[in-house]
Amino acid sequence: MILTNDFVFIHQPKTGGTFVTEVLARLYEPVRERGMVNRWLRSLRPGGKKRMRNVLKHGTCNEIPIGYRHKPILGTVRNPYDRYVSQYEFGWWKEFPESFCSKAELAARFPRYPDLTFEEFIDLCNSPHLQSRTTRESPRASPGRQTRQFVNYFFMNPDRVLPKIDEDYVAARKYETDMFPVHFLHTDRLNPELHAFLLGLGFDRGDIDFILATGKIFPPEGGRGDDKPWQKYYTPELKRKVRIKEQLLFALFPEMDV
């Protein structure tokens, strides 16, 4: 997460956080000095950039330090269909099978692991049995992996909420009182939405207009090219499965169900 005097940015993986981080690094000066004397000397310096701290790279809203909990929270959110494809192509799941369960269990359930098709990857992410081994929610509730990750990042009591997520919970909009108040930027509209957010904080247009013309910024490991649109990965049936598993996200962001 990034801590500033203006707001806190929560960096959920694979949602455009690298872009936001790089942009903020051009507008804020990283704080590196430690100790009371250094902080006092720094406070005497006139002018210069605003300052930020980049801590707990993928820290959640529940991990925001006490001194920053009154600040506005900024987050990024990505279409669940697209994010599944991004995670599949990124391949972290091949190197860290313990994020699902033991290697022995994976071998029994998916004999060709890690050589999985995209549909098998979706099944792996959303297998009730494997979910129940790595999270505290009941296998019966079984919200999708995208929803579970989103709740862990942006809800006040993830362990209490996750077992309750079902059609009734979503239909009653109970999530509205369970979430932190977060201003979300959409991954597919990062440039104009980040620009508008910073403009609302009082930044001069001349200092932030570069955002509108900045291209995609990928993490060091690279990213998926434009020749692999997420739509090509889905059959109508697979898309229906994801829609059901991620019903909470589509309720929150109905424009994403395209």
Model confidence over 153-187: pLDDT tens digits?
Answer: 999 999 999 999 999 999 999 999 999 999 999 99
What share of the chain in percent tops pLDDT 90?
Answer: 65
Distance CA 74, CA 181 (A): 9
Query: Are 21 and 68 a contacting pair, CB within 8 Å?
Result: no
180: domain range?
Answer: 2-256
User: Tell me, what CATH number does 34's domain have?
Assistant: 3.40.50
Distance CA 188, CA 40 (A): 41
Q: Which of 94-98, 123-127, 228-232 has the lowest mean pLDDT?
A: 94-98
Residue 132 clears pLDDT 60, i.e. is over it: no
Model confidence over 214-233: pLDDT tens digits?
Answer: 998 876 665 566 778 999 99
Query: Number of structural domains, the chain?
Result: 1
* Angle value at C-alpha 30, between 26 and 34, nearest 5 degrees: 170
Q: Which of 147, 144, 214, 150 is nearest to 184 (CA)?
A: 150
151: Cβ–Cβ under 8 A, 6 or more apart, which residues? 143, 158, 161, 162, 165, 248
Q: What is the mean pLDDT of residues 142-156?
A: 94
Q: Which of 69-83, 115-129, 134-148 has the lowest mean pLDDT?
A: 134-148
